[in-house]
Structure 1
Amino acid sequence: MFIFLKHCRKYLGAISIGLTIFLTGYTDKRIISSNSADSLVLNPFVEPGFPFIPGSLDARQLGAGFPDDNMAARILSVPVGDSAYIAFDTDLLRMSVAWTGKYLPMVLMAQISYKDFFNKNNKVPTVTGNPKVATGSYPGWSTDKPVYQNIRTRSAEEPNWDAMPAEKGRWKGVYAYGDKAILNYTVGTTEVFEMPGGIRFGDQIAFTRSFRFGSSERELYLTAAEVTNATASEVKGRIAYLYHGVNKDSVTAIAILGKGGFALQPEIAENRFVTVKVPATAKGAEAGIAIWKGPAKEKKTFEKLCRKVRISFPDFQKGGSAYWNETVVTKGKLSPDTAAFVTDQLTLPLPNPWKRNVRVADIAFHNDGRAIAVTFEGDVWTVEGIDKNLQNIRWKRFASGLHEPMSIDIVKDTIYVFGREGIVRLHDMNKDGSADFYENFSNVMSQSAESREWAADMVLGPDGCFYIAKGGSQSNGPGVSKQVAKGFREGSRHNGTVMKISKDGLSYEIIATGLRGPYLGMNPKTGMLTASDQQGNFVPSTPIYLIKKGDYFGVPATEHRKDNPAITPALTWLPHRVDRSSISQAWATSDKMGPLNDNLIHFSFARPGLFRVLIDSSAAISQGGVSYIRANYPAPTSKGTINPVDGQMYISGFNLWGSSSKGISALMRLRYTGKPSYMPNQFRAGEQGIMLSFDSELDANSVLDASHFQVKRWDYKRTQEYGSGHFKLDGSTGEETLNVVASYLSADRKKVLLLVQDMKEVMQVEVAYQIQAKDGKQVNDQFYFTINNLSALDPASFGFASVDLALLKAKQPEAAASTEKEEMASAEKGKELFQKMACFGCHSEGTQVKGMYGPPFQNLYKSVRHFEDGTSAIADEKYIRESILSPGVKIIKGYNEEMPSFVGILNDNEIESITLYIKSLKK
């Protein structure tokens, strides 16, 4: 299928693939240079020949005779023959369902947006083919006796999302060997390898499960099928039958394969469960079973077939042939050195021989500068040739079949990926450049099938442990669990948390709870752990947090505690118009990043771009602030890391959840050019005012004019509504402008002291300044910070002399009555506000809906608006005003509650201007 032209143009421009792309590995060594916008073709998400796809599955409504408690958050779906498939639940080590006909619909978030880049209307897949065999939500394996009920801790009414206890059974991973998936797990202390398969006979298919057992001191039991409407059963030697239908004309059968060998024994329990007893063995053994559902008249044919089948495992542990031999070579695009920091673009491998989409979620580096990139599609690529000029970047696929991963890391040259299946450790057994074993390093974190409970972030601490962040189970998803608060589903018991995973991956600690959509940053030297969160219900604006064990951050639905904890204050808040959707942080642990060396960098998905984070640790409670790093960001910025060879920061990101950038994906290098930087590099907020230190020397005349500085402050209110308006300290709506009575320049000409009256603790402060650097550069910028604790400032300690603190006691001048007539409301002013308030990131001024969180504005005025609650209204002036001030009252059908209130931010005149602008868009 061709991608629509209008989207291709944006995509190709964003990832800079207008350059010639060389594809090597073909016999003719041909060069592909056809990169016009309408030539990019993507194959389907499912790739023929690869043996499994991960995902979630809702199999609760398979029909009569099947269990109705069959839901799995972590499955591998495996093709086993001609239009035949099995779904293996890696949490419960069970075959959830086997079916024929259509494959699972590709409706998970990564799948549905694979070609339709901004489509967030994902679902949990259901079986649309013909189900044959299924089991319920209980362990597929047990020791000593069968288990037919859920052994995991949870009430019977709600799904349980934990993996089964490791001592009872543990998923170890999957081998990819040609078109075969070999599953690996333990039952008790016994290691098991399983190779699913299928055998067709006539118009029937039998599903086979071939096993290689390690030594075992105890009997093992496999629950292979559950039939809820059986009318009779029988066991005949090595075959067991469950009959259904009025005349017993249908049958579900299980047979031990072959004529002799290891003595597996089929059993029927409660005229419902089909089980297999596996005897204890000191040496280990191989055996297999076949499961079939069909007409009873075909019994003899099935029995004959099963006697002939032999178990034969390939030599899979040595690795198979590589799935992807070609290398894609791209040329990067260097930015001219126009500022202290610029972004070079590493062109993505598009097109590629597999016609595979490439949305880069994260990147990591080996010590020699080779990189590994992971995509939201679930692929891992090796990237070589990253040098100064970026003219020979070599991309090669290394792995696939990962479940919506967003994080990758390298520890001792071993690759770790965090996706919804857990932390996967990748092994190339035969060193041919392709992963053979996808090892389960850790699945101790609970994972639900709610789409927003994504595997958000993973960082490595200096203690050798991984720290992970899990998204909260927000309501704007498929809704497979009950609603527990406005904007939230129940999800798993670990949703909205930060967790520490032990070095062996087998245990965890909860570090922090009460988060909506956290992403992480880790200082690899000091172990300082930071996080962002997503503005929304119970999160009034974008925060950055310092994370310590035991912290709670204010979202009741993800509190997961009973001790009524106090809410930990944010390090700093960022206004909606500055960063309405944040993501991870990274430390510039380098001596080659100039002024940013050893600084914390915050990533904005929505703006997009990077912020420099400053921390004032002199206060009793740490407080921080941010300034924007101005550069070209062609796509959302999500994750970043330092290349140990060149010392620069490499940035990955892809689009999906609403960004002002419409680029689909990019891989960039934030490069320090050596030119002057004019950003703040230190701040203090105290009783007497604000101190800002800058990277460059400043012009005294511009700094000493206090009118060049404007200081505003406001609070947010944390409620169940989406985001927050702005409020004065007395609780009334609006922002307060503070009186800057004087400004001073330090002896080193790099620090500014603002004497500010009425300094108080507050959630948000904005300092805007229009000054000059010593070299004549005009510096017009803003710095945003939070005051958690006020202490006295000592001007002399920062190099300020002759500071007249008595000015702070002078009576504040009364606001002069305005002699100027207020500017009349206008559509032109409304358009300016549309840009200033970042409305354009969610609403199109035309008719575009792709990539937009909110409905388009063209033809909105006087149209009929249909709401999620079934009501409707005319979009008149009253409706527009209500939508701006109370956006959660009426939610347009097909959209989610994702707009904050502009109470205290926009005045009546501005709201009228926006209304006039919307009126002007009527065509």
Structure 2
Amino acid sequence: MKKLAHIAFALLASLSTLKAQESPKEEDFYKIVTPPIPEGIILEVGGLTTMPNGSLAISTRRGEVWIVDNPTSRAPYFRKFATGLHEILGLAYKEGALYCAQRGELTKLVDKNGDGKADVYETVYAWPLSGHYHEYSFGPKLAPDGSFFVSGNVAFGDEEWWRGESRVPGRGWIFHITNDGKYEPWATGVRSPAGISMLNGELFYTDNQGDWMGTGGIFQVKKGGFMGHPAGLKWAGLPNSPVKLTEKQFFAERDNRQHRNEQGRAIKPENTLGEEPQFLYQLKQKYDMVQLPAVWLPYGVHGVSTAELILDDTKGNFGPFTGQVFVGDQGQSNIMRIVLEKVKGEYQGASIGFRSGFQSGVLRMAFDKDGSMFVGETNRGWGSAGDANQGLQRLVWNGKMPFEMYTVKAQPDGFEIEFTMPVDRKSAEDLDSYKVVSYLYKHYPVYGSPQINLEDVKITGVKVSDDNKKVRIVLDGMKQYYVHKISLEGVRSASNSWSLVHPDAYYTLNNIPDGERLKVSDLKTTRSGKAQASVSAEPAKEHVSPDGKGKATPAKAGAAAKAPTWEEVKPLLAKNTCLACHAPDKKVVGPSYADVAKRKYSNEKIVELIYAPKPENWPDYATPMAPMPQVSKADAAKIAAWINSLAK
């Protein structure tokens, strides 16, 4: 009898494991549909907007505007509405007209004679340009009063090609254009503000990782605000500027790291392991106009080139996330879900994965009347995980409920997580089902920042609600201003033992709320012994070859370990988000692994470059690789061995 009981228990355990392994994925709830596009039409999408009659308006980087009638049907009808414009990276509809941001102006497009084509191209306001290729203009977005907001990209230096510059007014700024066509500077400190959005009547924008931007972020935009990049401060002294921070004040707090070598050439600033870091929140403590991001987006995990924000106003037709926000990423060809809340007057919140696998870089999104989401895509000159040059796709919910974190809210002593369906109480009360890690990003003129001060946060207990829909996680050591990665790998759903579709949330804790803390007697503190691994130790300081160009370091003597196969290394590459930017045999955002293997680096050198990349070794790639300190040394060694196995 005892033997039979053991067999039954083992069988049940196997079935439970099988169920967990068979948990549904993104594609089981949200399907990507590619509508038929007539031959010859190239949709490098720069702007999308749904019109009152249900048609879809599309602007392209090639300067065209298309209207798509019956866009969700099997035979949508495409008609060219306008042409001859300059790289349109945004589109808005207002009172029978379309408005677009060209490189150098806000333009109103009107079809006066009703033939389906614009016959009026009216300049609402024109702003200056220096002619630099990187001076993109994004928008417009409509304010509640019908006026417009536009954002202006910085240029880059000629010799210092890595450094953002504002060569003319408006570059590195978000500006307001009134209904009567007047220009009003609004806020500065932006670098590459590719997404500008109005969420419930409040202005937000997204920025991309680069100099002075440790990673991509989502910021609320307040008049007179400064988001961290100093280029636009050049114009803060103009009479109509609402920004009161000066270049002199900024650089009294920050080193611009402008140095030259013995030959008189500019030296590109690099991340230095072990240096005393500075952070954006420290600048805010001195200057209140500094605006911290509501959400930092972990580089290489939730994007590399942050794009547009869009509010889910579909009233449940796109799933259970009405009122939440989605953000696209051009580099990784994916979409994240953003949960925002206001704490002590400032927005903060969490980034959670949502849907990957789009055919090109996700730049623009718009909801159709049926609740599906149109996704506009492009990658020319920018690179993306999806290898198509351009595209228009549609994301459709199939009506089934995914097991997800619905909300993540800060508490005085931790976080409260609400789920889309009840959790299995046993797994949810097991402390080993959870892991929390905190970290920050540096604020400095280097392209991107590694995760700094990376530490495990002790979980002291959990409390599951009576309806099994919420879990309160109590922590010892919450840190204001830090990103808290909250992992729920062990939590299962009650009805079918599913694991979460996306078990990680990255919460940016700008403020810790006041309120009552849970008593120790209210908490469950049991552990199953299946704890998630701790964060890896910081890698050893990078060794630089004498010529400073990262030449191969001689391999250590001794027998080389057998290189892993593709099947063995693929899960490691996926776990560490390497596949978002690299592929085995083709260029994506970064070089292919086969091309890396041709450099004949030693395994040790590849490991060093994972932790401290040398973008100057790959000058043909627009997006430099950021340091990846979160990759464990064991994973890095296996990845390096596999890369070198590709050498022929």
* Preserved CA contact (<8 Å) 2:589 2:623: no
Distance change (3 Å), C-alpha of 1:681 and 1:794: farther
1: CA distance between counterparts of 2:612 and 2:511? Answer: 32
Out of 278, 291, 296, which is 1:568 matched to? 291
SS of equivalent residue, structure 1 residue 570: coil
**Inter-CA distance 342–894: structure 2 relative to 1 (3 Å threshold):** closer
- The share of aligned pairs that are identical, in percent, is 23
Q: Distance in 2 between matches of 1:887 and 1:453?
A: 27
Give the aligned partner of residue 399 of structure 1: 82
**1:444-476 deviations in Å (ceiling 9; x for gaps):** x3323111111123211112111111112135x
Change (3 A) 1:843 1:346: same
Alignment correspondent of 1:650: 374
Call closer, same or farther: CA 1:705–1:619 in 2, change over 3 Å: farther
Which residue of structure 1 aligns with residue 195 of structure 2? 520
Q: Report the residue type matching 2:593 in the other structure.
A: F
Hey, what does 2:435 align to over in structure 1? 710
- Label 1:833 to 1:801 Cα distance change in 2 as closer, same or farther (>3 A): closer
Q: Which residue of 1 aligns with 2:393?
A: 668
Q: Once the 2 structures are TM-superposed, how far is the Cα of residue 437 of structure 1 from its aligned partner?
A: 2.5
Give the CA deviation at 1:625: 0.6
Alignment-derived partner of residue 612 in structure 2: 886
Match of 2:449 among 724, 738, 761: 724
CA distance 1:373–1:741, shift in 2 (3 Å): same
Deviations 1:73-116 (A, max 9, x none): xxxxxxxxxxxxxxxxxxxxxxxxxxxxxxxxxxxxxxxxxxxx
**Residue aligning to 2:413:** 688
Given that residues 573 and 786 in structure 1 are in contact (C-alpha distance below 8 angstroms), is that contact kept between their aligned partners in structure 2? yes
Query: Are 2:43 and 2:391, in contact at CA under 8 Å, matched by a contact in 1?
Result: no
Per the alignment, residue 495 of structure 1 pairs with 171
What are structure 1's unaligned runs of at least 5 residues?
A: 1-335, 729-734, 808-814, 819-823, 864-873
Given that 1:496 and 1:514 are in contact with CA atoms closer than 8 Å, whether structure 2 keeps it comes out as yes
Residue in structure 1 matched with residue 65 of structure 2 by the alignment? 380
The residue aligned with 1:791 is 513
Q: Establish whether residue 427 from structure 1 lines up as the match of residue 147 from structure 2.
A: no
The answer to whether the 8 A contact 1:458-1:520 is kept is no
Q: Alpha-carbon deviation of 1:403? A: 0.5
Which residue in the other structure is 1:448 paired with? Answer: 130
Q: Deviations over 1:108-138 (max 9, x none)?
A: xxxxxxxxxxxxxxxxxxxxxxxxxxxxxxx
The whole-number CA distance in structure 1 between the counterparts of 2:223 and 2:175 is 9
Aligned-pair Cα RMSD in Å: 3.0
Could you tell me which of 204, 218, 223 is aligned with 1:530?
A: 204
CA distance in structure 1 between the partners assigned to 2:517 and 2:406 by the alignment: 17
Q: Is the 8 A contact 2:109 2:120 kept in 1?
A: yes
From 816, 835, 841, give the equivalent of 2:574.
Answer: 835
User: Deviation of residue 884 (structure 1)?
Assistant: 2.7
| Alpha carbons 2:449, 2:627 under 8 Å: kept | yes
Superposition deviation, residue 548 in structure 1: 0.9
Residues 830 and 916, structure 1, Cα contact 8 Å, conserved in 2: no
1:779/1:793 Cα in 2 relative to 1: closer, same or farther (>3 Å)? farther
CA distance in 2: counterparts of 1:832 and 1:361, whole angstroms: 34
1:641 counterpart (359, 366, 384): 366
- Structure 2 equivalent of residue 771 of structure 1: 491
For residue 614 of structure 1, the aligned residue among 339, 346, 355 is 339
Cα distance, 1:348 vs structure 2: 2.3
Contact 2:104 2:128 in 1 (8 A): no
Give, in angstroms, the shift of residue 888 of structure 1.
Answer: 4.2
* AA of the residue aligned to 1:857: Y
Counterparts of 1:860 and 1:520 in 2: how far apart (Å)? 32
Conserved 8 A contact 2:26-2:354? no
Q: Please list the CA deviations of residues 330-351 of structure 1 after superposition, one character each: whole Å capped at 9, or x if unmatched.
A: xxxxxx99744433332222x1
Q: Distance in 2 between matches of 1:556 and 1:710?
A: 36
Distance between the aligned counterparts of 2:643 and 2:319, measured in 1?
45
CA distance in 1, matches of 2:375, 2:477: 41
Asked whether the equivalents of residues 88 and 103 of structure 2 are also in contact (C-alpha less than 8 Å), the reply is yes
1:297-329: per-residue Cα shift (whole Å, max 9, x none)?
xxxxxxxxxxxxxxxxxxxxxxxxxxxxxxxxx
- Deviation string for 1:847-905 (max 9, x for gaps)? x34xx343333254474xxxxxxxxxx74456534433332474334345611122x32
Q: Answer yes or no: is the 8 Å Cα contact 1:453–1:491 preserved in 2.
A: no
| Amino acid paired to 1:538 | W
Q: CA deviation at 1:415?
A: 1.1
The whole-number CA distance in structure 1 between the counterparts of 2:26 and 2:349 is 30
> 1 CA distance for matches of 2:431 and 2:304?
30
Distance 1:629 1:842 in 2: 18
Query: CA 1:856/1:343 → structure 2, altered by over 3 Å: closer, same or farther?
Result: closer
Q: Offset of 1:839 from its aligned partner?
A: 3.0
Aligned residue in 1 for 2:215: 541
Alignment coverage as a number of residue pairs: 535
Instruction: Encode CA deviations 1:597-620: one digit per residue, 9 max, x unaligned.
Output: 222211122222222211131345
Q: Normalising by structure 1, what TM-score?
A: 0.54
Deviation at 1:594, TM superposition (A): 4.0
- Summarize deviations over 1:625-681 as a string: whole Å, max 9, x none: 1112236533322112233x3244322122231221113333233334332133323
Amino acid across the alignment from 2:36:
T
Q: Residues of 1 paired with 2:334 and 2:596: CA distance?
A: 31
Letter in 2 for 1:509: E
SS at match of 1:727: strand
Q: TM-score, normalised by structure 2?
A: 0.76
Q: Could you tell me which amino acid in structure 1 is paired with residue 70 of structure 2?
A: G
**More divergent stretch after superposition (827-836 vs 366-375):** 827-836
CA contact (8 A) 1:486 1:537 kept: yes
Q: Give the aligned residue type for 1:373.
A: I
Structure-2 residue corresponding to 1:558: 232
Find the residue that maps to 1:778 and give its secondary structure. coil
Aligned CA distance change for structure 1 residues 683 and 652 (closer, same or farther; 3 Å): same
- 2:606 is paired with a residue whose SS is helix
Secondary structure of the structure 1 residue equivalent to 2:432: helix
Residue 472 (str. 1) matches residue 131 (str. 2): no
Secondary structure at the counterpart of residue 407 of structure 2:
strand
User: What CA distance in whole angstroms lies between the structure 2 residues aligned with 1:338 and 1:899?
Assistant: 29
Structure 2 residue 29 is the aligned partner of structure 1 residue 344:
no
Which structure is higher in RCO with an 8 Å CA cutoff and minimum separation 6?
2
Alpha-carbon contact 2:43-2:392 (below 8 Å) kept: no
* Aligned 1:313-324 pairs, distance under 5 A: none
Which of 284, 305, 308 lines up with 1:584 in the alignment? 308
Instruction: Describe the SS at the equivalent of 2:361.
Output: coil
Partners of 1:540 and 1:375 in 2: CA distance: 30
Mapped contact 1:470–1:494 kept (Cα < 8 A) = yes
Aligned to 2:590: 854
Kept after mapping to 2: 8 A contact 1:398/1:434: yes
Larger strand fraction of residues: 1
Q: Is the 8 A contact 2:319 2:401 kept in 1?
A: no
Q: Which amino acid aligns with 2:485?
A: E
Shift of 1:786: 0.9
Name which of 880, 884, 900 aligns with 2:626.
900
Offset of residue 766 of structure 1: 1.1
Unaligned runs of 5+ in 2: 1-24, 237-244, 251-286, 527-533, 538-560
**Higher helix fraction (1 or 2):** 2
Amino acid in structure 2 at the alignment position of 1:840: L
Task: Verify the 8 A CA contact 1:722 1:897 in the aligned structure 2.
Answer: no
